[in-house]
């Protein structure tokens, strides 16, 4: 491979950047946020690779794709085929899982179809083959006079026109065929099928009536059907449905039969494998019984419900008291402290007869459960008010039939080494990898499955090596963090042995505990050693120091960035006085200055007995008026504890929000007047959303333009300067400034509008200027520039100064939300909260706010968080960054491992106490302390 040479790159804020990247190297791009790293890696290098790829298509293929604009660069030499692994590539499709993205699930489907042992889903007995004699006996056992058809299936849910098959059936003397459930005559109709749709086609072999003397004719019909369909016979009994028989698979006890196992039999995206109740999603929308309870701490005998209908409330109270009497629970016992059996019986029903009391009478009857009772009332209700009230109780529930496995009962009953596929996909990847390594196979099975098992083992090993062993194969990718989805895709690439490829990754260490950094670095090195060039946009110190080549951009952000500060081995960074990165690596600058942790201002907020997901009876304290960091290895239960239990419980106390994770109680929460979660979800999903609109500064800016003499003379109102409504915007792009181009099998791309050249507005609107700038030029200002220009304009100045304080001064006011990283979106939300009037009694919860932040940006972020605490607020941060941990007043450490090996409180207290513990976090903090001494 040749070196990758970039000559005079000018994309975004890059200043005629010229540099060379060695081939087959691990190269790290670093620098402060906004210095131009992503502009170089993705908007220049990867964009040019994508453009050249499309240019390599034939003229015929290119006519279906838009022409991509060349990036602003004079030349790029030595460019290899490129693969981009970014943070924002999470699949939002609920059918996308860790197993499907990594293709492990596809190989498991092959394995189960090849060597799986089917069992009857009812009897749990192994399914055996059925002979034609067995089929004959089954038909003759039907009541005399039963009418039936003997059908030979030719196609089951397959696409095509099937002309040859239908002509062949007619030539062989079969006059009728059943197509998609409709019997049609072959000799009288011109049958035309839509070849793009899937069809069921069965030849009608014979139509019979059960009576004496039928045996020989029935045997012949079954024999013909078996020959036509290669072993499958469909019996259709008039008025009784249809039964599928197979000479291959059948239950010896109840006669349940299966067609031959195929990979699609285990696909939850196919009607042949998907659970019919949930359509392969694993969840359904149904009544959430827990939502009925108004207060889990309310005594059983005084329980209040979230329903106002008197009859329903009376029935629920009677049922709860009957369940409590059955289990010997006192009416004074808080419902949340009642045994789990009481909760299960009340919510989901009990078959035993309970003693109900009504007035002075008593009677016994089983209880169907809250969910079933309310579901019946919802169906039977004619009251719009009651229907709407019950509708509010509907939520996402695990499918009652497949219990989240997504597959049909037949597929769930197939095992390999005693493990059903649905159970296997719910186990942590570390356990699945161990299962794959210890498979006990017969000689024949080993011969058939050798290649499949090798692929499964290889891919699972990669996933464990990049620190994802706590995930499960059925985990939806929509629930993964940016770092997790990157590492999942990275493991997928490692399972595909490519050489000579340029890989570009965007901060793959996001969400990774310091303990697992080395495992990630070894994975990147393996990718490099396979003959590829790896470019990583990264701020992690370990990754920078172990890279082959480091490119530091800067020296500042926005207009002050875009220059090459250092290009060379990692040691050159420490020796460069102009490099902020080098100063932090050399110890000249420090992110955190030594300080004494604050004592709790008003005691603690305590989560008692949390058992949500993998949490194991966790009781954790969070000091009020302090900065608390919740940490632990990936999958230890941090988000489950803070977001799913604490945050939801506090929001729930205000009468809104979703049901919190399972816990006994929250103590001491009355000190807060509001709770705010600041996550990394996008501020908008279209180019219309930007920092100006999200922060609200765009409204006073539009009012300002509408008040100018030129605008007033023309009769322009503030709406004229909005790109969301017709009037002043460019109608060619409807104010987007860009047009979305669907690239068929490639990701969609946005190209500037050819009419307005990306300016969003029409010519007349752009003629109105404030201090020499039209509205489009104002939106092109960076936040820092705009803060100076509008310094005397209070409605705008305060919010812009806050954005600068959190390190977002390099963003432009009109930068599309689709181009913001998760960390930038989170800091934008934080800035909006800071700009509001402070009450001093607010709880702020942040999830990994250092995502995408340079050492200098982390320092500024910590200053902002400390300022929030100084105002009397409480801040809880989920974080792995050791500098943030060291700056905390209190640390809650979960672990010791991820998944089933985590979920325990392994330490809590000030950083110095955690550093003395023999835990992954304790060892990382001890190393941080030793490095700063």
CATH number of the domain residue 204 falls in: 3.30.190.20
Q: What is the CA radius of gyration of the chain?
A: 33
Q: Under DSSP, is residue 560 helix (H, G, I), strand (E, B) or coil?
A: helix
Question: What are 627-667's pLDDT values in tens digits?
Answer: 999 999 888 899 899 999 999 999 887 766 677 888 888 99
Contacts (Cβ under 8 Å, ≥6 apart) of 654 = none
- Between the alpha carbon of residue 900 and those of residues 104, 617, 920, the distances in Å are 21, 13, 16
pLDDT at residue 860 in the model: 87
SS3 9: strand
Structural tokens at position 204: 């009608």
Token reading at 807: 């390190």
Same domain for 885 and 796: no
Q: How many helices (H) and strands (E) does the chain have?
A: 35, 34
SS3 407: strand
Burial of 273: CB neighbours in 10 Å, binned 0-12, 13-18, 19+: buried
Mean pLDDT of 862-887: 91
Last residue of a domain, one of 421, 450, 475: 475
Same structural domain for residues 127 and 256?
yes
User: Where in the sequence is the domain holding 223, given as residue range(s)?
Assistant: 120-260
- Please give the Cα distance from 320 to 343 (Å, whole number): 9
272 in any annotated domain: no
- For helices 482-494 and 443-465, the axis angle rounded to 10 degrees is 140
- The CATH number assigned to the domain holding 617 equals 3.40.50.300
Within a domain: 9: yes
Question: Would you state the pLDDT for residue 385?
Answer: 83
Q: Is residue 498 domain-resident?
A: yes
* Identity of the highest mean pLDDT range in 55-59, 119-123, 708-712: 708-712
Rounded to an integer, what distance in angstroms lies between the CA atom of residue 786 and that of residue 773?
Answer: 12
CA distance 771 to 464: 58
- Looking at the fold, whether 394 and 428 belong to one and the same domain comes out as no
Is the pLDDT at 304 greater than 60? The verdict is: yes
pLDDT for 156-209, tens place per residue? 888 888 888 888 888 888 999 999 888 988 877 778 888 888 888 999 999 999
Question: How confident is the model over 415-440, as pLDDT tens digits?
Answer: 999 899 999 999 999 999 999 999 98
Residue 169: HSE in the Cβ half-sphere, 13 Å Cα cutoff: 29
In degrees to the nearest 10, what's the CA dihedral of 324, 330, 331, 332? -140
For the ranges 58-72, 320-334, 701-715, 798-812, which has the lowest average pLDDT?
58-72
Residue 580's contacts (CB-CB under 8 Å, 6 or more residues apart) are 31, 32, 554, 555, 589, 854, 855, 856
Same domain for 20 and 127, yes or no, is no
Predicted local confidence at residue 748, as pLDDT: 65
Residue 563 banded pLDDT, cuts 50, 70, 90: very high
| Residue 745 pLDDT exceeds 60 | no
CB 756 within 8 A of CB 736: no
- Residue 314, helix vs strand vs coil: helix
Share of the chain above pLDDT 90, in %: 39
pLDDT band at 614; cut points 50, 70, 90: confident
Give the residue with greater pLDDT, 710 vs 191: 710
Cα dist from 667 to 178, 649, 671, whole Å: 66, 11, 10
In a domain, 279, yes or no: no
In contact, 460 and 433? CB cutoff 8 Å:
yes
The pLDDT of residue 677 is above 80: yes
Tell me, what's the pLDDT at 115? 92
CB 853 within 8 A of CB 842: no
For residues 682-700, give the mean pLDDT.
Answer: 85
Distances in whole angstroms, Cα of residue 703 to Cα of each of 89, 668, 693, 736: 37, 45, 13, 21
Give the residue from 455, 475, 495 where a domain finishes. Answer: 475
Residue 484 lies in a domain: yes
Identify whether the C-beta of residue 704 lies closer than 8 Å to the C-beta of residue 721.
no
The domain tally of the chain equals: 6
- Cα separation, 410 vs 390, whole angstroms: 34
For residues 666 and 609, state if they share a domain: yes
Alpha-carbon distance of 431 to 437, in angstroms, equals: 10
What gap in Å lies between CA 294 and CA 353, rounded to an integer?
A: 27
Q: Is residue 690 classed exposed, middle or buried when 0-12, 13-18 and 19+ CB atoms within 10 A define those classes?
A: buried
818-822: list long-range contacts, CB under 8 Å, 24+ apart: 818/682, 818/684, 818/685, 818/686, 818/687, 818/750, 820/682, 820/683, 821/38, 821/87, 821/88, 821/506, 821/851, 821/852, 822/87, 822/88, 822/482, 822/680, 822/681, 822/682, 822/851, 822/852
How high is the pLDDT of residue 344? 87
Percent of the chain with pLDDT over 70: 96
User: Looking at the structure, do residues 139 and 248 belong to the same domain, yes or no?
Assistant: yes
Q: State mean pLDDT over 799-822.
A: 85
Question: How confident is the model at residue 210, as a pLDDT?
Answer: 92
Strongest mean pLDDT among 29-33, 108-112, 817-821, 826-830? 108-112
Q: Which two tokens stand for residue 141?
A: 């056992």
Same domain, 128 and 253: yes
Does the residue 48 lie in any domain? yes
Determine the average pLDDT of the residues in 825-836: 83
Q: What is the DSSP letter of 876?
A: E
| 3-class SS of residue 602 | coil
Predicted confidence at residue 689, as pLDDT, reads 87
Q: Which of 840, 889, 843 is nearest to 666 (CA)?
A: 843
Kindly report which listed range (532-541, 828-837, 855-864) carries the lowest average pLDDT score.
828-837
The token duo for 621 is: 């304290």
- Same domain, yes or no, for 871 and 792? no
Provide DSSP, 154-202. Answer: EEEEEES--HHHHHHHHHTT--EEEETTEEEETTT------TTSEEEEE
Given a contact cutoff of 8 angstroms between Cβ atoms, the answer to whether 245 and 235 are in contact is yes
Same domain, 235 and 129: yes
Mean pLDDT of the chain: 87
How far apart are alpha carbons 809 and 804 in whole angstroms? Answer: 4
402: tokens are 């497949």
pLDDT band at 3 (very low <50, low <70, confident <90, very high): very high
The residue with greater pLDDT, 27 or 489, is 27
Packed helices 370-380 and 310-326: angle between N→C axes, nearest 10 degrees:
160
Half-sphere exposure of 538 (CA within 13 A, CB side): 30
User: pLDDT category, 289, cuts 50, 70, 90?
Assistant: confident
Judge whether 559 and 50 are in contact, CB under 8 Å.
no
Helix pair 429-437, 443-465: axis angle to 10 deg: 150
Residue 135, classed as helix, strand or coil, is helix
Question: What pTM was computed for the model?
Answer: 0.77
Side-chain-side CA neighbours of 853 within 13 Å: the count stands at 27
**Contact assessment for residue 564 and residue 580, using Cβ atoms and an 8 Å cutoff:** no
- 473 — pLDDT class (breaks 50, 70, 90): very high
Q: What are the distances in angstroms from CA 457 to CA 116, 450, 749?
A: 18, 11, 36
The runs of H, that is alpha helices, within 560-716 are: 571-574, 580-585, 638-639, 648-653, 691-695, 698-706, 709-714
Average pLDDT score over residue span 115-137: 85
What pLDDT does 932 receive? Answer: 63
Looking at the fold, whether 339 and 446 belong to one and the same domain comes out as no
Query: 816 lies in a domain?
Result: no
pLDDT confidence band for 23 (50 / 70 / 90) = very high
Q: What are phi and psi of 322, to 5 degrees?
A: -65, -40
Residues 457 and 370 grouped into a single domain: no
CA distance 248 to 581: 67
887 near 862, Cβ under 8 Å? yes
Q: Is residue 404 situated within a structural domain?
A: no
Question: Where does a domain end: 585, 614, 634?
Answer: 585
Q: Does residue 248 share a domain with residue 184?
A: yes
- Cα–Cα distances (Å) from 229 to 159, 176, 204, 250, in that order, read 17, 15, 12, 17
Q: In which element (H, E) is residue 436 found? A: helix 429-437
- How confident is residue 536, by pLDDT bands cut at 50, 70 and 90? very high
């Amino acid at each position: 491979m040749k070196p990758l040479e970039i000559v005079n790159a000018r994309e975004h804020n890059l200043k005629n950047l010229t540099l060379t990247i060695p081939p087959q190297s691990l190269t790290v791009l670093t620098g402060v946020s906004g210095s131009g790293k992503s502009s170089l890696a993705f908007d220049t290098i990867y964009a040019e690779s994508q453009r050249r790829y499309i240019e390599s298509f034939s003229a015929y293929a290119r006519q279906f794709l838009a022409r991509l604009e060349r990036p602003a660069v004079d030349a790029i030499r030595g460019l290899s085929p490129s693969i981009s692994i970014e943070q924002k590539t999470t699949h939002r499709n609920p059918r996308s899982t860790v197993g499907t993205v990594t293709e492990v699930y596809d190989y498991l489907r092959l394995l189960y179809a090849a060597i799986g042992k089917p069992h009857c889903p009812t009897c749990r007995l192994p399914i055996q083959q059925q002979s034609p004699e067995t089929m004959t006996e089954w038909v003759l056992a039907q009541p005399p006079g039963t009418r039936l058809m003997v059908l030979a299936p030719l196609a089951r849910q397959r696409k095509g026109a099937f002309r040859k098959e239908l002509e062949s059936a007619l030539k062989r003397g079969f006059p009728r065929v059943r197509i998609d459930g409709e019997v049609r005559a072959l000799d009288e109709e011109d049958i035309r099928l839509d070849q793009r749709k899937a069809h069921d086609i069965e030849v009608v072999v014979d139509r019979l009536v059960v009576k004496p003397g039928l045996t020989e004719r029935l045997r012949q019909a079954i024999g013909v059907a078996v020959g036509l369909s290669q072993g499958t016979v469909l019996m259709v009994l008039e008025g009784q449905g249809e039964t599928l028989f197979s000479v291959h698979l059948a239950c010896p006890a109840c006669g349940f039969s299966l067609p031959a196992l195929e990979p699609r039999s285990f696909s939850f995206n196919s009607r042949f494998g998907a659970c019919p109740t949930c359509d392969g999603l694993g969840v359904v929308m149904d009544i959430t019984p827990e939502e009925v309870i108004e207060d889990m701490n309310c005594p059983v005998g005084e329980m209040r419900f979230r329903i106002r209908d008197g009859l329903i409330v009376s029935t629920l109270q009677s049922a709860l008291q009957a369940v409590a009497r059955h289990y010997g629970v006192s009416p004074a016992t808080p419902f949340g402290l009642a045994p789990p059996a009481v909760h299960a019986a009340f919510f989901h029903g009990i078959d035993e007869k309970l003693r109900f009391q009504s007035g002075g009478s008593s009677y016994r009857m089983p209880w169907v459960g809250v969910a079933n009772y309310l579901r019946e009332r919802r169906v039977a209700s004619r009251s719009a008010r009651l229907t709407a009230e019950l509708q509010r109780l509907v939520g996402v529930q695990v499918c009652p039939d497949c219990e989240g496995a997504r597959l049909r009962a037949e597929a769930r009953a197939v095992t390999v080494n005693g493990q059903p596929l649905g159970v296997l996909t719910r186990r942590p990847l570390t356990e699945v990898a161990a299962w794959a390594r210890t498979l006990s196979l017969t000689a024949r099975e080993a011969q058939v499955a050798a290649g499949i098992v090798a692929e499964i083992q290889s891919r699972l090993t990669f996933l464990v090596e990049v620190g994802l062993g706590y995930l499960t194969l059925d985990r939806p990718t929509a629930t993964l963090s940016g770092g997790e989805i990157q590492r999942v895709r990275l493991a997928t690439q490692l399972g595909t042995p490519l050489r000579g490829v340029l890989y570009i990754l965007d901060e793959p260490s996001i969400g990774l505990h310091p303990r697992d950094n080395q495992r990630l670095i070894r994975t990147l090195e393996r990718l490099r050693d396979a003959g590829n060039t790896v470019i990583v946009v990264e701020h992690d110190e370990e990754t920078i120091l172990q890279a082959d080549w480091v490119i530091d951009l800067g020296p500042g952000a926005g207009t002050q960035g875009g220059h090459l500060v250092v290009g060379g081995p990692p040691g050159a960074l420490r020796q460069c006085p102009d490099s902020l990165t080098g100063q932090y690596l050399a110890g000249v600058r420090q992110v955190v200055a030594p300080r004494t942790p604050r004592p709790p201002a008003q005691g603690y907020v305590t989560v008692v007995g949390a058992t949500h997901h993998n949490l194991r009876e966790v009781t954790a304290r969070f000091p009020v008026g302090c900065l608390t960091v919740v940490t632990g290895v990936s999958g230890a239960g941090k988000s489950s504890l803070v977001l799913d239990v604490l945050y939801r419980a506090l929001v729930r106390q205000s009468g809104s929000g979703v049901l919190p994770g399972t816990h006994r109680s929250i103590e001491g929460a009355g000190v807060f007047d509001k709770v705010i979660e600041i996550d990394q979800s996008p501020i908008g999903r279209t180019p219309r959303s930007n920092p100006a609109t999200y922060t609200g500064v765009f409204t006073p800016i539009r009012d300002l333009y509408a008040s100018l003499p030129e605008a007033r003379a023309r009769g322009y109102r503030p709406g004229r300067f909005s790109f969301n409504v017709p009037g002043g915007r460019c109608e060619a792009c409807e104010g987007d400034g860009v047009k979305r181009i669907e690239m068929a099998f490639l990701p969609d791309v946005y190209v500037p509008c050819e009419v307005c050249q990306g300016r969003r507005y029409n010519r007349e609107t752009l003629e109105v200027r404030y201090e020499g700038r039209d509205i489009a030029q104002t939106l092109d200002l960076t936040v820092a520039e705009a803060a100076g220009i509008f310094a005397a304009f209070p409605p705008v100045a305060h919010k812009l100064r806050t954005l600068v304080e959190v390190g977002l001064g390099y963003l432009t006011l009109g930068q599309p939300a689709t181009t913001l990283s998760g960390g930038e979106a989170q800091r934008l939300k934080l800035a909006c909260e800071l700009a509001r009037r402070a009450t001093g009694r607010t709880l702020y919860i942040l999830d990994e706010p250092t995502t995408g932040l340079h050492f200098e940006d982390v320092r500024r972020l910590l200053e902002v968080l400390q300022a929030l605490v100084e105002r009397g607020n409480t801040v809880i941060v989920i974080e792995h960054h050791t500098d943030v941990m060291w700056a905390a007043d209190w640390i809650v450490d979960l672990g010791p491992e991820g998944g089933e090996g985590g979920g325990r409180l392994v330490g809590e207290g000030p950083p110095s106490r955690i550093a003395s513990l023999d835990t992954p976090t304790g060892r990382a903090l001890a190393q941080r302390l030793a490095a700063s001494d």
